[in-house]
Chain A
Amino acid sequence: MIAYVIRRLIAAVLLIFVVSAVTFLIFFGVPRLGGASAEDLASRYVGKTAGEEQIKLAAERLGFTDPLWEQYGRFAKGLVAGADFDTGTEVDHCPAPCFGYSFITQNPVLPDLLDRLPVTVSLAAGAAILWLFGGVATGVLSALKRGSIFDRAAMGVALAGVSLPIFFTGLLALSIFSYTLEWTPPGGTNPVEQDNPWDWAAALILPWITLALLYAAQYARLTRAGMLETMGEDFIRTARAKGLPERRVVVKHGLRSALTPILTIFGLDLGLLLGGAILTETTFSLPGIGQYAVIAITNQDLPKVLGVTLVGATFIILANLIVDLLYAVVDPRVRTA
């Protein structure tokens, strides 16, 4: 098992490098293939009145004039060994793993990301708990009461939840609960800067619910389908034949099996969200990684985009690994296979 974990971890690190190379190629190589010159690329990162001479200098300073492999080599070296950047008055050391240095704001990317991580984690974790419990409970009840009014209503709400965009539900929620009723703090309240857990939760409750609604709907549907399938399994009949009370049949025998595939999806969803809940963070103006990604993309700040992509990829790869390991814990067939 330990050898397996180590093997997977090494593979994960290699995969991150592959992702970084591919991403690098997409951002730095494809525009060049499309005919953009080094100066064209650099022209985004100079002031609006910069002359040709300045753009040339910038292209050299940002390394766009070097061959692509050399540019990537520099980036990869930064990941492993760190890198130095000139602030004009001093040399700023970006310690390994250096995810690069912003062309626009001229600061290292990784500290920015780490600084923003707690917001995204708070958002994703809280929402995940809500949607997992809410979605699974709804799905189980729907499955057990298949065809009932509850089932139809829950699945209707689920459909609506999947269909409604966050920037709509989010703004509506803010308008009602923050600005009309004044129960919750306004948009843009940074949860991790609050003084106590209560205020932290208050700043997050609307984003949590809005985000969770989207996922809960999906999880309710998945759980319902999984439960319906599982409750038709032979081992459920066996459990009943043993004389187990129905509640125990459902929870211990049914839910345990039905939840296993959901675990996989949950892991990936959570991993994806930790890389930034873009719409939710934008709608509620939460300074998390998703918002950072949007800023990076609108500014075409390539090192930031690259950094966000790498962090996102890292979370997904890690989530995948954790899910695989958990699977082994949950399903003994995987463990011995």
Chain B
Amino acid sequence: MRVTAIAAGLAFAMSLSACGSGGGDDGDGGGGDNATPKYNAGVNNVFNPSDKKGGTLKFANDSDFDSLDPGDTYYGYSWNFVRNYARSLVTFKSAPGAKSNELVPDLAESLGKPSTDAKTWTYKLREGIKYEDGTPVKSEDVKYAIARSLDKDVLVNGPTYFNDFLDLKGYAGPYKDKDKTMKKFTAIETPDDRTLIFHLIKPFSGFDYLAMLPSTAPVPAAKDTGTKYKEHVISTGPYKFEKNELGKQFTMVRNDQYDPKTDPDTGRKALPDRIEVQLNVNQADIDQRLQSGALDVAISGVGVQAETRAKILNDPQLKQFADSADQARTWFTSFDNSVKPFDNIHCRKAVMYAVDKEGLLRAYGGSSGGQIATNMMPPLVPGSKKIDLYEAKDKPNGDIDKAKQELQECGQPNGFTTNISYRAEREAEKATAEALQQSLDKVGIKTELKAYPQSDYGKLYAGKKDFSTKNKLGLRVYGWGSDWPDGFGFLSQITDSRVIRDAGNTNFNVNDPEIDAMIDKALGELDEKAREPIWVDIDKKVMENAYYLPTVWARQLLYRPERLTNVFITDAYNMYDYTTLGVQ
């Protein structure tokens, strides 16, 4: 399972390209609203706009959701899709390109109102919101939904942001204390049926991103069945479950209790009368069906297979139905500073200079698979900047002289030996490891390649501290995507030393008190304009210290069958928006 494997360390992608910084060489994205098939017509534009209702929208998934329970899901496509049946407090605006990075109120009347110290956040629910059975949604239900999602022992999949930021005072959720009234859950107050007051343990300027999490979608306590709730989620969105066969397929029909008048800001269109989702479908067959029109959307949003990509790009007839989607994901290689001589910054820098950046991009299929990454934060993350400290632009094939100079300073003029680990199942990572090996060989750094199963890569091998040290995994090929499109969503989990643990790490290597302090500063900064440069500084610091070797900012090729309407790539999810699609 691709997504779970990624899950070990990276979330999926959501992001925004600040206009002009992204896009690379595929800037031929359409101009203006249009209905003529054209390559990249769904990038930054609504392709085939329409308000026509009706029909059945068919999705297929090459694997399965981690869970359909909004309180128990952590896949990007799931967060995108869940909005069809679950409304969170706020959400990303359904709009093409960077416009989707805007958070807009969904259940709430407005975005959160912070206290000046950014430790208390208040939301007020809109009036007239009902569940599919007609009962009104209360603030208590949102509180219950968040409370249950805290219990990672029962609902294991979702993110732990609420666990990390709420002032829980030891509260572990309603399953543990068997109290659905949540008397001990004081971190969220519900003074009336429409008001929610969140108390945080530390300042968090970006709390609206947490209010965006699907786990804020209300769950009526009486209807909660714990791990079995995913079998029939009580809908608040425009669609409700008609039939749900776990692991096989599910169908959704219109929820007649959903009132579009209560949903003025999100941009949901709710065009089809019916949504069908098939699970565990052969990926090769999905690609075939997309091209034949037997299927509308590959729900995982990671694009077509490498073979199909080549076929589509070489056939103008097919290419006109394809969109190249930049991802808020960075493929990188992490040093292990505990493996000598990488404890010496100059030895790390020698590697940074030596590598053939173009060769590493080829490992991911060239420009259709991404662009050369100069720093960690991808261009799609709002406010990010390109920081080219190691001559990616001037010497894309590596700078042997500089590398040798750094080796000299490191005290290893003749090079040294180390190991490169990668995930065995991933062709691109194997190719990356081989490209690294070739480049480093030129400056005398001899390497041996070590492949490990991807399912345990983070938990038992490369991401396990003592294993990595013992096996001298000086270079570890990996990747990371952000949970949401801002600096915190992308950088915190890979640079904050306080998330480092013995095994299952997401932060492989950065243990820098300065960076920790900068992160805390950003968390307390309520002004977005002041906050963004802090994250850029953190990114720069990571590059200066050569903690990571970023290689590629990812890109995927999506296919939009002819009959789809209102198709566009949302930068918030790096795939088509699943709440606006219609069929002809």
Contact = CB atoms under 8 A, between A and B. Distances in A.
A260 interface: no
A11 interface: no
A15 interface: no
A295 B280 contact: yes
A75 interface: no
A283 B159 CA distance: 33
Given A180-B292, A188-B281, A285-B280, A36 B248 contact: no
A91 to B, nearest CB: 10
Residue of B63, B160, B175, B227 ringed by the most chain A CB atoms within 10 A: B227
A295 B247 CA distance: 9
B282 A88 contact: no
B284 A171 contact: yes
B225 interface: yes
A203 to B, nearest CB: 13
Nearest to B246: A105
B16 to A, nearest CB: 23
B287 to A, nearest CB: 10
Interface in B430-488: 455-456, 459-460
B253 interface: no
A58 interface: yes
Contacts of A291: 280
A47 interface: yes
A60 to B, nearest CB: 10
Interface stretch (A38-46, A157-165, A309-317): A38-46
Interface string A74-101: 0000000000001111101000000000
B228 interface: yes
A238 interface: no
B456 A47 contact: no
Contacts of A88: 148, 151, 154-155, 175, 224, 226-227
Contact of B285 (A45, A48, A87, A174): A174
A106 B175 CA distance: 15
A179 B288 contact: yes
A179 B289 contact: yes
Interface in A281-322: 282-285, 287, 291-292, 295, 298-300
B332 interface: no
Interface string A119-134: 0000000000000000
Interface stretch (B27-35, B77-85, B336-344, B498-506): B498-506
A54 interface: yes
Interface in B182-231: 224-228
Interface residues of A, number: 51
Given A40-B460, A105-B246, A48 B74 contact: yes
Given A105-B246, A300-B455, A49 B282 contact: no
Residue of A61, A167, A291 ringed by the most chain B CB atoms within 10 A: A291
Given A186-B295, A295-B64, A171 B227 contact: no
Given A89-B175, A186-B294, A54 B152 contact: yes
B228 A107 contact: yes
A221 to B, nearest CB: 29
B285 A47 contact: no
A327 B133 CA distance: 60
Interface in A246-296: 282-285, 287, 291-292, 295
Interface in A29-70: 36, 39-40, 43-52, 54-55, 57-58, 61
Interface string A166-188: 01000100110011100000111
A63 B291 CA distance: 47
A92 B231 CA distance: 14
A5 to B, nearest CB: 36
Contacts of A71: none
Contacts of A283: 282, 285
Contacts of A105: 246-247
B163 to A, nearest CB: 9
Interface of A: 36, 39-40, 43-52, 54-55, 57-58, 61, 86-90, 92, 105-107, 112, 115, 167, 171, 174-175, 178-180, 186-188, 190, 282-285, 287, 291-292, 295, 298-300
10 contacts: A36-B460, A43-B459, A43-B460, A88-B154, A180-B292, A188-B278, A190-B249, A285-B278, A285-B282, A291-B280
Top 4 nearest A-B pairs (CB, nearest first) are: A88-B226, A179-B292, A87-B226, A88-B175
Given A43-B460, A49-B506, A107-B227, 15 more contacts: A47-B157, A47-B158, A47-B159, A48-B74, A48-B157, A48-B504, A50-B504, A105-B247, A178-B294, A186-B289, A187-B282, A188-B278, A298-B1, A298-B455, A299-B4
